[in-house]
């Protein structure tokens, strides 16, 4: 890839992914229940080798994968991304035993992973989390903790098979006292419920009532959990932008097709200057977001020092752009786009959440400003 365009092989691969998502993944997504984990869809992602790509790809390839899947099947894209978000801390900070047990199952689509960071009182300010990890005196010399508290807005909860959980062990204030744990879903004291949300993917609440965890459940060292969380988010933030770009491109292409054939005022919609100018703006913003996402991913792959800033910029611009493009696509389609089952009705519900999760737009602006003044 140059700074401005993908190579021929990359373009071909993206085209194949778009076709695959429409032909093989869309039918499975349509059979799923909104707000629930779609295990047949996950199994197909595993059988196609796409989940394996989560652990073998660089940031740019991950972006191309997510963008291409999002264009044809947002549910497949989200199912894949959530597997990566929940399992990447196991890959980067887990023990050999944790990796050997869980990662093959995640790659195959047999085990559902989840990333449990947000809480009712700690969303954008992740360092303020309050889930308590108290020393477990019942374990004796072996050591261990009991987790007590709540997690909320957790994707794949409460149906995941394991959770990457961030809890306060108290080695220091704020982020310095956070530890990451791998918590299987069948641990005693762990329960949860599904939450009905605007977006169609599964989200829930988790309750920890003295859930036991030991040294064998640690992901990294005690007190270093916030670094595990941020390393994961720095990798996935540009690809959240890629997800948004995929949705924007789908909405843009639908708008081009619609306005080119929709009769209006003796011609078609595309003949109207106001329509043409709006479509031109949609296309320009989408292209700018795409290039910024690719640049951020390239910086991550190159090990550049300014990854936090560029990742934040990519997520911010791409998610805000996708909201703009989808909204204007709905406007140009008119009432038909509001009908349940229409592509744009679906995208309108999907596109709102990425401006909030993995750091809201306001948080991304804070990160950008902090990095600029550093």
Q: Which residues are catalytically annotated?
A: 358
Residue 269, burial from CB neighbour count under 10 angstroms (0-12, 13-18, 19+): buried
Q: How far is CA 118 from the centre of its chain?
A: 14
State the alpha helices, DSSP H only, in the chain: 8-20, 26-31, 39-47, 50-56, 59-72, 74-93, 96-108, 225-261, 273-302, 307-333, 343-350, 361-373
C-alpha 258/C-alpha 40 separation (Å) is 33
Dist CA 33 CA 26 (whole Å) = 13
Tokens representing residue 324 in the block: 């703009």
- How many Å separate Cα 195 from the centre of its chain? 18
For residue 358, the 8-state DSSP code is T
DSSP state of 374: -
- Residue 120 tokens read as 């009712």
Token look-up 């995929």 returns 246
Which residues in 190-212 are b (16+ Cβ under 10 Å) and which e? Answer: bebeeeebebbbbbbbbbbeebb
Residues in the chain: 374
DSSP state letters, 32-96: SPTTS--HHHHHHHHHTTHHHHHHH--HHHHHHHHHHHHHH-HHHHHHHHHHHHHHHHHHHH--H
């Amino acid at each position: 890839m140059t700074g401005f365009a993908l190579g021929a092989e990359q373009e071909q691969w993206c085209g194949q992914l778009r076709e695959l998502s429409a032909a093989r993944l869309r039918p499975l997504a349509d059979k799923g229940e909104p707000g629930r984990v779609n295990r047949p869809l996950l199994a197909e992602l595993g059988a196609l080798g796409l989940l394996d790509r989560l652990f073998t790809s660089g940031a740019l390839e991950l972006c191309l994968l997510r963008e291409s899947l999002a264009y044809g099947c947002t549910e497949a894209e989200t199912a894949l991304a959530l597997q990566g978000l929940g399992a990447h801390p196991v890959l980067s900070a887990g023990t050999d035993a944790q990796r050997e047990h869980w990662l093959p199952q995640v790659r195959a689509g047999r085990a559902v992973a989840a990333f449990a960071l947000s809480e009712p009182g700690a969303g954008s300010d992740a360092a303020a989390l309050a889930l308590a990890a108290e020393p477990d005196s019942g374990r004796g010399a072996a050591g261990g903790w009991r987790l007590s508290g709540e997690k909320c807005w957790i994707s794949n909860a409460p149906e995941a098979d394991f959770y990457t959980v961030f809890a306060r062990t108290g080695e220091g204030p704020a982020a310095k006292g956070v530890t990451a744990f791998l918590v299987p879903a069948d641990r005693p004291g762990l329960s949860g419920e599904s939450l009905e949300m605007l977006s169609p993917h599964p989200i829930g609440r988790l309750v920890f009532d003295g859930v036991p965890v030991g040294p064998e459940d640690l992901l990294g060292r005690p007190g270093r959990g916030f670094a595990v969380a941020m390393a994961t988010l720095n990798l996935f933030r540009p690809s959240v932008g890629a997800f948004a770009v995929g949705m924007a491109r789908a909405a843009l292409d639908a708008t081009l097709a619609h306005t080119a054939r929709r009769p209006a005022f003796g011609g078609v919609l595309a003949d109207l200057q106001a329509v043409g100018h709006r479509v031109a703006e949609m296309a320009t913003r989408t292209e700018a977001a795409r290039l910024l996402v690719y640049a951020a991913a390239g910086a991550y792959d190159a090990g550049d020092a300014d990854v936090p800033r560029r990742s934040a910029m990519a997520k911010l611009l791409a998610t805000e752009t996708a909201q703009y493009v989808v909204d204007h696509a709905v406007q140009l389609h008119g009432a038909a786009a509001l009908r349940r089952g229409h592509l744009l009705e679906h995208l309108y519900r999907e596109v709102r959440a990425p401006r909030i999760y993995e750091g809201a737009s306001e948080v991304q602006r804070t990160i950008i400003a902090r990095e600029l003044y550093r």
